[in-house]
Structure formats: structure tokens, C-alpha cells
Homo-oligomer: A and B are copies of this chain.
């Protein structure tokens, strides 16, 4: 069986990774390259394949099995329901539908069965949330998560190709003693930190920070979970890191914590500090698995653990998780 899979936003950073991962993971599909009218007619290539980009109109979804959306919230809001109406399951990488009660929000390793109740749209989580939960969920299953505090160190890829390019351009300008051009981010990112991702709410939190709270509760089905998050952009290209301190209902044990993370799919324990081994963004760029290290009994909570989680923002934080959702739909017989 070969499926027809549309990629909406195919010219973006995540779109490019979607093509790569569908092919590398040999998802049996014909790819339809889709984008806004502005990009229609352009071509995209991967190895020896070339696609001409077609405009993502409502009728363009007729006949597709799946469409993976990565073109921003506005396009998702307008077109995911149109795709669903035409029998094409929309896997949406934007935040548009994530908190919709009718839309499953899925990390396939964590809540695969949420897919069963889909009504045509399935949401892909926020990048930092998905990566964080790859470390937290196995600990939750063992010890019963009640609260966590997260501080993120988010790569420039979260702002797409232009974000990564801006880090490179500004670094180059700095080294050459030239003026730095600020465009993709609110401020200079090279050799700097920006504690501001997505827009601010009246509470003083950003939308990005509240995604961690709301999406973690939904994905792990823990509506009472207490979460606090601070999201910070750092001068790194494409892997996100998160420092997490978590409190649990049951007494914790570090050896057991390592074991349950090691047994969990999609995540590697990288935790041998005596030999300077811990996950770092340079080592987790272009890696499917997330890495968890610095696993230790926490000093601020009786039943606490602190961990450091790193994952590729474009992969587990976006394209990989979306492709894994497509694979999940296939495995469950929900497509085709």
C-alpha cells in the first residue's frame, strides 16, 4: 500500500525535514509538495526526486490520505478542517488545534491511543514540550509526577531557516567586526540570550511557556499537574535543551530513574558525568532520539529529580514526531 501524503509548508525548515524523514524511514508514500500561493510552482528536491510545489487550496486535499501542516497557525486554522472534510487526516505542527478537546495531541511513545478518537485533525506538540516529556514521562510512570519547573535553552531553528541563518550571519558579522543585522528575532541572538519566545500574555508568561503547562497536562492526561516554565532563545542552531526539576508522589531512586528512561523508546540515557558525558545540542542535532542526562536526586524537593534533556528541534520537536504520528496511523489501520 502506498499512501498519498501532502506536506504543507514544504519549503520551510520543518518541511524539508519532513521529506527527508518520510524517505529515510521509508514511510510508503507518494509525497505531494504543498505551500501557499506564493511558493506554488517552485520546486523542491530530495536526493534524486523533485517535486513542483502546488498551492494548498481546500480541494488540493481531496484524494490525500494524510497532510502534514507546518506553515503556521493561520494556514492550519484555515485548511486543516478543509483537509479533514475531504477525508484527509491533518497532522498539524502549529499550535492552532492543540488544546481543542476534539483534537488528539500526540507523542507516539506516550499517548498513541489518543489517535483512536481523532476526528480528522491530530496535533503535533510544541517542540520544547515534546522533548521535555521524553525525559519526564518514563519518570512519571514510575514515580507519579506532581510538579515540574523547566527552563529551556531553545535553538534558533525554532524560528525556521531564517532563525538559523540569522545566528550564522550575526556571528560572522561579529567576528569580522561588522554591524549585526537583527531581523528574525526581537534582538541580537549571537553571543546573547533572549528570554522571549512567542508573544507575552498578561500574566507575564509567554504563550510558549504556557504550552509547556497546557500540553504536558493534555499529553500525559494529568489535568492537575503543576508546571512552571521559562523559555529562552540561545545561540545554538537546531537542538533544544531543557533543565527540569520535577517533584513526584512516590520516593525516587536515581538508579531506577536511569533504568526507566533507558527502557523507554525514543530516548537515550547519556549520563556519565565522571567522564564528561551528558547530552549537548551539538551531539543531538540530526539525531532521532532525545538524550537525558544529569539525572540526580533533587535538593529542593523530598521526592525530586533533576534532569537535563536535549533533542533535535526540527526532528522530535517537529518533523519526526509528525512522521511518527503518520506511522502510528498506519500501524493502527486508521489510514488507507
Contact = CB atoms under 8 A, between A and B. Distances in A.
Contacts of A297: 203-204
Contacts of A175: 168, 171-172, 175
A236 B248 CA distance: 34
A235 B236 CA distance: 8
Q: Specify how many copies of this chain sit in the oligomer.
A: 2
A213 B245 CA distance: 15
A289 interface: no
Nearest to A171: B171
Contact of A192 (B254, B281, B301, B304): B281
Interface string A270-301: 00011010111110000000000111111111
A278 B231 CA distance: 13
A276 B186 contact: yes
Contacts of A52: none
Interface residues of A, number: 60
A228 B174 contact: no
Given A204-B295, A254-B204, A282 B187 contact: yes
B228 A300 contact: yes
A296 B192 contact: no
A297 to B, nearest CB: 7
Contacts of A206: 273
Contact of A195 (B187, B294, B300): B294
A220 to B, nearest CB: 15
A175 B191 CA distance: 14
A233 to B, nearest CB: 10
A165 interface: no
Contacts of A298: 228
A181 to B, nearest CB: 15
A230 interface: yes
B282 A188 contact: yes
Nearest to A274: B200
A205 interface: yes
Interface string A203-230: 1111000000100000000000011111
Contacts of A254: 204
Interface in A16-70: none
B299 A205 contact: yes
A243 interface: yes
Contact of A226 (B171, B234, B300): B300
A96 interface: no
Closest 5 CB pairs of A and B: A204-B296, A228-B300, A151-B151, A151-B243, A230-B243
